[in-house]
Amino acid sequence: QQQVRQSPQSLTVWEGETAILNCSYEDSTFDYFPWYWQFPRESPALLIAIRPVSNKKEDGRFTIFFNKREKKLSLHITDSQPGDSATYFCAASPNTGYQNFYFGKGTSLTVIP
C-alpha cells in the first residue's frame, strides 16, 4: 500500500508561473514531512520540511501548505525558474524516532523559459 501519494506525475509551467505539487498520506502517526528535489544523475537533497504543528512553512519561493484533517499537503513554487526543473519527492516519517521514511513516486517539474 502506497503510504504517500503524489500528483501530478509530471507538471510543466512557464517561467514566472506558480507550480503546485500535491501530496497525501495515509498514516496519522506521520509527523514530519520533508520535500526533496532531485536533479538528473544526482542524489536527492532536502528542499523544505514541515511538522503538523504548523499549517504553512515558507522558504523563499517555496511554500508548504499542510492540511492535517485531510492528510494533504502541497508545495507551491512561486515565480518558477528553469533551474527549478527537477523531480520533487514528498516524504513522511512517523513520530517513532524517524527511522522509517516513506517517499511518494515524485512529480517531475519542467519550467519552460
In the complex, the residues that contact another protein under the rule CB under 8 A are: 32, 34, 36, 42-46, 49, 89, 91, 93, 97-106
For the bound state, the minimum distance from the C-beta of residue 85 to another protein, rounded and expressed in Å, comes to: 15
Smaller CB separation from another protein, 71 or 105: 105
Quickly count: other Cβ atoms within 10 Å of residue 89's Cβ. 22
Cα–Cα distance between 107 and 90 in angstroms, integer? 9
For the bound state, the minimum distance from the C-beta of residue 46 to another protein, rounded and expressed in Å, comes to: 6
Cα–Cα distance between 61 and 33 in angstroms, integer? 18
For the bound state, the minimum distance from the C-beta of residue 21 to another protein, rounded and expressed in Å, comes to: 14
Smaller CB separation from another protein, 61 or 94: 94
Smaller CB separation from another protein, 71 or 78: 71
Contacts of 38 (CB under 8 A, 6+ apart): 44, 45, 86, 87, 88, 89, 106
